[in-house]
């Protein structure tokens, strides 16, 4: 079983819609959860990160982690055409030599004007 599972989409929504992107993970030792955004032909860039269960909000973006069900979500409110990109969830362990950083497959999002 792959450690981080993510529906690759593609997902197409109209401008202004609320977008929900989801990941599940299998390794309960993961303690650090991230969302990266990748525009076409570019490297990924960090969008949000969190260490704990619960919600973290940043402008139109909310990251949600439920460690009990090993479920990670990213919500985008009032989506804009500029949000069109691939969104990758990523998990990492904390401490010591645990440098491994695991990504999901990414979900390709298209926001139509």
Partner 1 sequence: NAGVTQTPKFRILKIGQSMTLQCTQDMNHNYMYWYRQDPGMGLKLIYYSVGAGITDKGEVPNGYNVSRSTTEDFPLRLELAAPSQTSVYFCASRYPQGQGSTEAFFGQGTRLTVV
Binding site for partner 1 (CB under 8 A): 6, 8, 32, 34, 41-46, 49, 88, 90, 92, 94-95, 97, 99-106
- CB nearer partner 1, residue 3 or residue 70: 3
3-class state of residue 71 by DSSP: strand
CB 12 → partner 1: shortest distance, Å? 16
CB 16 → partner 1: shortest distance, Å? 27
Whole-angstrom Cα distance, residue 99 to residue 16?
38
- CB nearer partner 1, residue 2 or residue 112: 2
CB 105 → partner 1: shortest distance, Å? 4
- Cα→Cα distances 57→24, 84, 109, Å: 20, 20, 20
Whole-angstrom Cα distance, residue 53 to residue 72?
9
- CB nearer partner 1, residue 71 or residue 103: 103
């Amino acid at each position: 079983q792959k450690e981080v599972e993510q529906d690759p989409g593609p997902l197409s929504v109209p401008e202004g819609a609320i977008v929900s992107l989801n990941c599940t993970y299998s390794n309960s030792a993961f303690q650090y959860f991230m969302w990266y955004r990748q525009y076409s032909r570019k490297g990924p860039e960090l969008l949000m990160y969190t260490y704990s269960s619960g919600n973290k909000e940043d402008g139109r973006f909310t990251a949600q982690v439920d460690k009990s069900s090993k479920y990670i979500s990213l919500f985008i409110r009032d989506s804009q055409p500029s949000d069109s990109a691939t969104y990758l969830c990523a998990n990492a362990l904390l401490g010591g030599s645990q440098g491994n950083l695991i990504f999901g497959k990414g979900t390709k999002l298209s926001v139509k004007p």
